[in-house]
């Protein structure tokens, strides 16, 4: 095996753009610090709605070429963040975007929601045993907001972490590896409320979203970790702009295809759900690797 960097971070996401919205600051920081940042995206986001009218022809009900286009957007976003190791689970196009909960696309052949969790997790086990991350970042069991691909990404990530550590499982996929710390993406409620107050005052989008539109909002006390830094946050905004079919960025705010304005969270927040906290009780960690010893 070739020499791996000392610190290794794995992020598992459902669609291209989720990584930049949720973790852009974090990914930029750790890439800049020389950590290995590995992004695994589970689908190409084929069912997304297209914002720019000039690209509307890519949509799934027209040419159905949004998937390959978003592969390119993701590559551009990763250049902005300085992340070189980004992959699609099972290869690009192996699993298809399942659409919103209840859509008929949920049950289509190849839809990520419709796939066997252990089968999908096996692809991720191979990656985990190869890059041997100390830290895993993914969604909570509800996927942050109930989207089927986000729920499935959570299930696959958790299952893969279990199987990767299991000595008897598929030794042909590499030596067992136990991930030291697992985090869920979070936004503290007070931060979300403050962000929407700024948005309403700035009045940059005709319609503002609400705290309920933000995935992963929880009471502040549940948040264990925060990762900030102005320079890294600038890279985050640049990465979000690269996802032009999905995100319209205006200053410190953005909108998805529903047009509802939301604040960009320059600082990102996490809840440690597995592993030992690296900060004293009552204090938030400022490093996902805090307390990691090897
Ligand atoms: Zn998504």
> What pLDDT does residue 167 have?
97
Task: Quote the ligand 1 centre to 2 CA distance (angstroms).
Answer: 33
pLDDT at 1 over 70: no
Task: Sort strands 248-250 and 36-41 into parallel, antiparallel or unpaired.
Answer: unpaired
The residue range of the domain holding 37 is 8-188+216-238+268-274
DSSP state of 130: H
**Percentage of the chain surpassing pLDDT 70?**
99
The answer to whether 154 is a known ligand-binding residue is no
The answer to whether 57 is a known ligand-binding residue is no
Task: Quote the ligand 1 centre to 147 CA distance (angstroms).
Answer: 7
Number of alpha carbons in the 13 Å side-chain half-sphere of residue 17: 24
> Tokens representing 80?
């902005």
How far CA 144 is from CA of 22, 185, 217, 218, in Å, comes to: 11, 8, 8, 10
Rounded distance between C-alpha atoms, residue 96 and residue 44, angstroms? 7
Does any domain span residue 117?
yes
pLDDT at 227 over 80: yes
What is the mean pLDDT of the segment spanning 55-69?
A: 97
Does any domain span residue 109?
yes
The answer to whether 18 is a known ligand-binding residue is yes
* Phi and psi at residue 288, to the nearest 5°: -65, -25
Cβ contact 232:23 at 8 Å = no
Does any domain span residue 12?
yes
Confidence of residue 294 (pLDDT cuts 50, 70, 90): confident
Rounded distance between C-alpha atoms, residue 16 and residue 36, angstroms? 19
pLDDT digits (tens, 9 = 90+) for 97-140: 999 999 999 999 999 999 999 999 999 999 999 999 999 999 99
Confidence of residue 43 (pLDDT cuts 50, 70, 90): very high
Task: Quote the ligand 1 centre to 232 CA distance (angstroms).
Answer: 22
Does any domain span residue 161?
yes
Task: Quote the ligand 1 centre to 224 CA distance (angstroms).
Answer: 23
Does any domain span residue 27?
yes
Task: Quote the ligand 1 centre to 23 CA distance (angstroms).
Answer: 13
Mean pLDDT of the chain, nearest integer? 97
Task: Quote the ligand 1 centre to 144 CA distance (angstroms).
Answer: 10
Task: Quote the ligand 1 centre to 176 CA distance (angstroms).
Answer: 30
Cβ contact 160:118 at 8 Å = no
> What pLDDT does residue 236 have?
98
What is the mean pLDDT of the segment spanning 176-183?
A: 98
What is the mean pLDDT of the segment spanning 11-16?
A: 98
Rounded distance between C-alpha atoms, residue 126 and residue 134, angstroms? 15
**Percentage of the chain surpassing pLDDT 90?**
98
* Phi and psi at residue 162, to the nearest 5°: -65, -50
Nearest 5 degrees, angle CA 128-CA 80-CA 255? 100
Output the domain CATH number for residue 13. Answer: 3.40.50.10320
Task: Sort strands 217-218 and 225-227 into parallel, antiparallel or unpaired.
Answer: unpaired
- Structural domain total, the chain: 1
> Tokens representing 232?
């890294």
pLDDT at 152 over 80: yes
| H or E element that contains 69 | helix 66-81
Does any domain span residue 128?
yes
């Amino acid at each position: 095996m070739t020499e791996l960097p000392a610190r290794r971070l794995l992020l598992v996401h459902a669609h291209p753009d989720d990584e930049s919205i949720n973790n852009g600051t974090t990914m930029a920081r750790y890439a800049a610090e020389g950590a290995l940042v590995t992004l695994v995206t589970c689908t190409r986001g084929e069912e997304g709605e297209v914002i720019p009218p000039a690209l509307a022809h890519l949509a799934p009900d027209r040419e159905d070429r949004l998937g390959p286009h978003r592969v390119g957007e993701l590559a551009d976003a990763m250049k902005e963040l300085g992340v070189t190791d980004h992959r699609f689970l099972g290869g690009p196009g192996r699993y298809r975007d399942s659409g919103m909960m209840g859509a008929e696309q949920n049950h289509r052949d190849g839809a990520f929601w419709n796939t066997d969790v252990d089968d999908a997790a096996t692809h991720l086990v191979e990656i985990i045993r190869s890059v041997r991350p100390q830290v895993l970042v993914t969604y909570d069991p509800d996927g942050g907001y109930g989207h089927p691909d986000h729920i499935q990404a959570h299930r696959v990530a958790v299952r893969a972490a279990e199987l990767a550590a299991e000595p008897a499982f598929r030794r042909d996929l590499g030596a067992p590896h136990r991930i030291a710390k697992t985090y869920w993406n979070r936004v503290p409620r007070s931060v979300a409320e403050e962000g929407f107050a700024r948005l309403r005052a700035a009045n940059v989008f005709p319609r503002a979203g609400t705290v309920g539109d933000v995935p992963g909002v929880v009471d502040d006390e549940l948040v264990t970790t925060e990762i900030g830094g102005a320079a890294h946050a600038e890279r985050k905004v640049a990465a979000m702009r690269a996802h032009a079919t999905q995100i319209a960025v205006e200053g410190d705010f953005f909108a998805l295809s529903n047009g509802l304005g939301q604040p960009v969270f320059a600082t990102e927040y996490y809840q440690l759900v597995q592993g030992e906290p690296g900060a004293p009780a009552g204090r938030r960690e400022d490093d996902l690797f805090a307390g990691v010893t090897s």
